[in-house]
């Protein structure tokens, strides 16, 4: 009996070994643009970045005509690029000597925010004017007058901002007429906060004492923190849909949470598009487009 069990075990290991194949992805990841159809099916428009290396952190312009993202196209540093949906063309927006991250365009399209490395503090939110002249080297100014090193941020309609402090894993509140940052909470995960649709409240990822991650809201007036939904599989990449639901990724699948379901339900599968390891997401304010950061296989 022992010999039989041993033979079965060896056979199982051999079969498993044959079944496991090394998966090879293209270097880095890309930003893919999808059209959201009426039945919630997705149709791929284009790989908006399409370059080996780091392409990430997409956000839609307020008029939903373009997508901003960052890319290390030169292999040295990240700069802000704009993908025009109508023409299918990319335009570089920053030409500094340091890296930029997390670009967000303001209403009207004349200015945009981005986290800029370098200077004191090492990371801070800067305001850039659009369009930029290559020879002007993208002049910018502080958008938040604080020495707190901000890695991720969000502004609401009143100009109030929240930011994740890089070295402290904490969330801070920045008010227009207050030169000082207000501490909100610790144990915050390094991920992008959002303005919650239909309100001036913010959402962020909070780590619980039991190590679970939760999406929570911050009320900038009362400073109250309220749980919204557990992060699926402790994934801290998510995005808000205009209707107040939330989407997140797992492998090649997209899941959606709503107040009605109060649970994560499968929403879409991107395996047919050969996209894997989904991370950052962005949804246009008119619910027509979805930007997905994912990996692709080596051809």
How confident is the model at residue 120, as a pLDDT? 73
Task: Indicate the pLDDT class of residue 82, thresholds 50, 70 and 90.
Answer: very high
225 three-class SS: strand
How confident is the model at residue 56, as a pLDDT? 96
> CA 235, CA 281: separation in Å to the nearest integer?
12
Query: Which residues, at least 6 apart from 35, have a Cβ–Cβ distance to it below 8 Å?
Result: 42, 43, 45, 288, 289, 290
Judged by average pLDDT, the poorest of 43-52, 224-233, 257-266 is 43-52
Task: Indicate the pLDDT class of residue 42, thresholds 50, 70 and 90.
Answer: very high
Task: Indicate the pLDDT class of residue 177, thresholds 50, 70 and 90.
Answer: confident
How confident is the model at residue 130, as a pLDDT? 86
165 three-class SS: strand
Query: Which residues, at least 6 apart from 192, have a Cβ–Cβ distance to it below 8 Å?
Result: 57, 102, 152, 153, 154, 280
A 10 A CB-CB count for 159 gives 12
Mean pLDDT score of the chain, rounded to an integer?
A: 89
Question: Residues 147-175: what's their mean pLDDT?
Answer: 93
Nearest to 228 by CA among 250, 186, 197, 249: 197
Top pLDDT among 3 and 121 is at 121
Q: Which two tokens stand for residue 236?
A: 């801290």
Task: Indicate the pLDDT class of residue 135, thresholds 50, 70 and 90.
Answer: low
Residue 1, classified by CB atoms within 10 Å of its CB into exposed (0-12), middle (13-18) or buried (19+), is exposed
> CA 125, CA 46: separation in Å to the nearest integer?
30
Question: Residues 197-210: what's their mean pLDDT?
Answer: 97
4 three-class SS: helix
């Amino acid at each position: 009996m022992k010999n039989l069990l041993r033979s079965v075990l060896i056979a199982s290991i051999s079969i498993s070994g044959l079944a496991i194949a090394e998966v090879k992805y293209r270097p880095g990841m890309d930003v893919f643009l999808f059209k959201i159809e009426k039945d919630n099916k997705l149709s791929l428009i284009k790989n908006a970045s399409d370059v080996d290396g780091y392409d990430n952190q997409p956000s839609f312009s307020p008029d939903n005509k373009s997508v901003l993202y960052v890319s290390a196209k030169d292999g040295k540093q990240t700069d802000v690029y704009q993908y025009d949906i109508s023409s299918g063309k990319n335009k570089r927006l920053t030409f500094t000597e340091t890296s930029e991250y997390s670009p967000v365009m303001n209403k009207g399209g004349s200015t945009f925010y981005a986290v800029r490395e370098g200077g004191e503090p090492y990371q801070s939110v800067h305001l850039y004017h659009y369009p930029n002249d290559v020879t002007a080297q993208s002049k910018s100014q502080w958008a938040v007058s604080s020495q707190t090193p901000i890695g991720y941020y969000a502004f609401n309609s009143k100009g109030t901002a929240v930011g994740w402090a890089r070295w402290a894993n904490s969330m801070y509140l920045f008010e227009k007429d207050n030169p000082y940052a207000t501490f909100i909470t610790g144990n915050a995960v390094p991920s992008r906060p959002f303005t919650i649709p239909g309100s001036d409240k913010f959402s962020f990822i909070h780590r619980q004492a039991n190590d679970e991650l939760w999406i929570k809201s911050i009320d900038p007036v009362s400073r109250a923190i309220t749980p919204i939904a557990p992060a699926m599989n402790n994934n801290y990449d998510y995005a808000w849909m205009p209707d107040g639901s939330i989407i997140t990724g797992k492998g090649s699948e997209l899941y959606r949470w709503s107040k009605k379901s109060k649970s994560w339900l499968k929403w879409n599968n991107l395996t047919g598009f050969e996209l894997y390891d989904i991370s950052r997401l962005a949804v246009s304010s008119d619910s027509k487009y979805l930007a997905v950061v994912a990996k692709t296989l080596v051809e």
